[in-house]
Amino acid sequence: MLTYIIKRLALMIPTFLAISLIVFAVVNFAPGNPGAKQAGAEGGQQANTGEQRESYRIFKEQFNLDKPVLLNFRYDLSNEDVSKVLSDILNENGEISPALRIVSQETVENWGRYAVPALMDILNTSDNVAMRALASQRLTINARKRLAGEFRKNLTAEQKAENKIIAAEVASFKGTYFMVEGAEDKNAISEVESKAFWNTWYETNKEGFAYSSTEKMSILFFDTRFAKYWGNLIRLDFGVSHLDKRPVLEKVFSKLKYSLSLAVTSVTLAYFISLPLGIWSAVNENSPSDRFVTLILFMLYSLPSFFVGVVLLNFFTIGSPVQWFPTAGFESIDTSEMTTLEHLKDIAWHLFLPITCMTYGALAALSRYARTGLLDTIRADFIRTARAKGLSEGVVIIKHAARNGMIPIITLLGTLLPVLIGGSVVIEVIFGIPGMGKMGFEAIMLRDYNVIMAILLIASSLTLIGMLISDLLLALVDPRITFD
């Protein structure tokens, strides 16, 4: 068995890598701009003012959202590529839609320093004065180096010194662009002065833009969102939330108590009720009571949890017809003034309806699985042999039949780990419980990529572990299963 466990654990590594790659690609290619709302943009699409755009640019830089998702070919940007995007931004012929202009503006912004050689060439050789002016304006942004330290916290002395040099260089870029004739900007200078500044600067820094073959390969695979994310993940660092800059693991752990309180209680109740009920239904197969219970359970199973949740809220929380339970939340506001027993009662009072909603569907399904598994078993030859030996019906059912009939239930048990941690999105949102499910829903709505990735990867890991636990439990229950 030890050899089997080691092989399964080794197989989990490439499986987890494949899952992370697929999830990362799906999340990052989904439409929407994370952080646009935080930067003050209307509709979450694009920042409008200069301050908003700069805030959004810094935000993207901090979270590597300006980098390609999987592969980075930006070291090979051509003059034609950059000229095409600048031309779309200028829209001199009036044929470019506002949406495409916004996309083009963000594209050249995301290129960062990779676009500098092409921008310098356009500044010096383009026949279009508007294109040259725009290139000079873009250089003041694209030529900036990244500050050391992702969030400028806990910097070393060397990083602080490096950031001072970078900040001084960025300050020197101010007022080094020019405008086309007729445009007014008190910070702009003449075209001759602008070209002189940027040509001098480029000659000094030219070596930093000449990439060797090794550097190109490094950029291709490692200067990407996926590589940066996995670089952090190897150190068990899920990064920080885009919304409040809190470490993701800290946020996850802060929500666990809410989801675990719901899920563990619900699963425990479902199993403790459904297993005896399933055994009883199998023993009394096709009796009127069995058919009645089956009808009730299938009716419960057919009711969606969001519908039941809303009905329970309307009937038992807002005074129509009674107001027995609180409308939302995990606990009351004044819990600090309660004793431990009173606090537990208050939590149970708040969670009664959510747990009811989470339990009834699982109860219906598990009891039917238990009934079906036991029905197949009690017709087997070894059960007839046990009865022929004179064993009581209770011993035959509980000791011999139930052990083998519970194999389907044990298989399902291993899949519950991610449910226990991931929480229930529908129940937590309806009842206002600040657990993992609600946090995941809000992260999806606000494009908080790091939180989404953390929840999905943790759930994937627990699914793989749960499948291994299921296999091991099956071997313990059924002696016919071996791992030799």
pTM: 0.71
Cβ atoms of 316 and 323 within 8 Å: the answer is yes
Q: Tell me, what's the pLDDT at 118?
A: 94
Residue partners of 26: CB distance under 8 A and separation at least 6: none
CB atoms within 10 A of CB 139: 24
Q: Which residues of the chain have pLDDT under 70?
A: 32-52, 150-153, 318-322, 414-415, 417, 419-423, 477-484
Q: Tell me, what's the pLDDT at 163?
A: 86
DSSP assignment of 81-115 equals: HHHHHHHHHH-TTS-S-HHHHHHHHHHHHHHGGGG
Residue type, 275: L
Residues 82, 85, 89, CA angle at the centre, nearest 5°?
135
Q: Tell me, what's the pLDDT at 479?
A: 65
In 245-270, which positions are buried (b, 16+ CB within 10 angstroms) versus exposed (e)? eeebeebbeebeebbebbbebbbebb
Token output for 224: 């990407």
Q: Tell me, what's the pLDDT at 329?
A: 78
Nearest CA-CA partner of 75 in 190, 215, 280, 185: 215
Q: How remote is the C-alpha of 346 from its chain's centroid?
A: 32
Three-state secondary structure readout of 394-447: HHHHHHHHHHHHCHHHHHHHHHHHHHHHHCCHHHHHHCCCCCHHHHHHHHHHCC
Distances (CA, A) of 451 to 27, 100, 357, 392: 11, 30, 26, 56
Helix axes 288-302, 248-283, angle to 10 degrees: 160
Cβ atoms of 219 and 72 within 8 Å: the answer is yes
Q: Tell me, what's the pLDDT at 16?
A: 85
Token output for 188: 């702009």
Nearest CA-CA partner of 88 in 112, 107, 68, 75: 107
pLDDT, tens digit (0-9, with 9 covering 90-100), for 287-309: 888 888 888 888 888 888 888 88
Distances (CA, A) of 466 to 22, 130, 436, 453, 462: 20, 62, 19, 20, 6
Which phi and psi angles does 78 have, rounded to 5°?
Answer: -100, 165
List Cβ<8 Å contacts ≥24 apart for 77-80. 77/111, 77/114, 77/115, 77/117, 77/118, 78/118, 79/118, 79/121, 79/122
* Burial category of 1 from C-beta neighbours within 10 Å (exposed 0-12, middle 13-18, buried 19 and up): exposed
